[in-house]
Amino acid sequence: MEPCEVLALSPRKVAYLKFLHGKNRSSRTGEIAAYFRVDPSTVTKAVNELARCGLVVHQPYLGVTLTEEGSECAEFLVRRHRILGLILTHYGLSGEEACREVERFESYVSRDAINRMCHSLGHPTRGICGSISHEYGCCGEEHGDEKV
């Protein structure tokens, strides 16, 4: 996979990557399955596909861990969610409503579109569900940030 080809990831795989990013540690497939209320075999299949893409390392019976590339990808996925959620709250949706709606379409929004939205919003640092990181190409040079 090219660096975080997020448009090629299914919404479920996006959710798994964001889950692992939020845990900030290795997670067993059973834990992931319980959280998402799916069969462990479903998680194992998706995790193996993510591993083939270089986004996670899966050690059976030990757990699933994000790779460096997977961590960068997950950071973008979280950033995308928070920027889109922030935009929807500007149009009157509550934070909870915005999160729910964003989950329905966020997988279809490109990195370039998110960078442009971030720029038009003035590079916000907080979204409705947490801080918003910035990456080189969005606002890197003007804010002194390095590639995240």
Confidence of residue 80 (pLDDT cuts 50, 70, 90): very high
Q: What three-state secondary structure class fits 115?
A: helix
| Distance between CA atoms of residues 92 and 113, nearest Å | 22
The count of C-alpha atoms lying within 13 angstroms of the C-alpha of 24, restricted to the half-sphere facing its C-beta, is 2
Confidence of residue 137 (pLDDT cuts 50, 70, 90): low
Domain locations in the chain as residue ranges: 6-71, 72-143
| Distance between CA atoms of residues 9 and 134, nearest Å | 21
| Distance between CA atoms of residues 2 and 42, nearest Å | 24
6-71, what's its fold? Arc Repressor Mutant, subunit A (1.10.10)
Does residue 94 register a pLDDT over 60?
Answer: yes
Joined together, the tokens standing for residue 98 give: 């915005």
Q: In this predicted model, what pLDDT tens digit does every residue of 30-67 receive, in sequence order?
A: 999 999 999 999 999 999 999 999 999 999 889 999 99
pTM score of the predicted model: 0.82
Average pLDDT over the chain reads 87
Q: Which CATH number fits domain 72-143: 1.10.10.10, 3.90.45.10, 3.50.30.30, 1.10.3720.10?
A: 1.10.10.10
pLDDT at position 133 is 84
Q: Please classify residue 103 by burial: count the beta carbons closer than 10 Å to its beta carbon, then call 0-12 exposed, 13-18 middle and 19+ buried.
A: middle
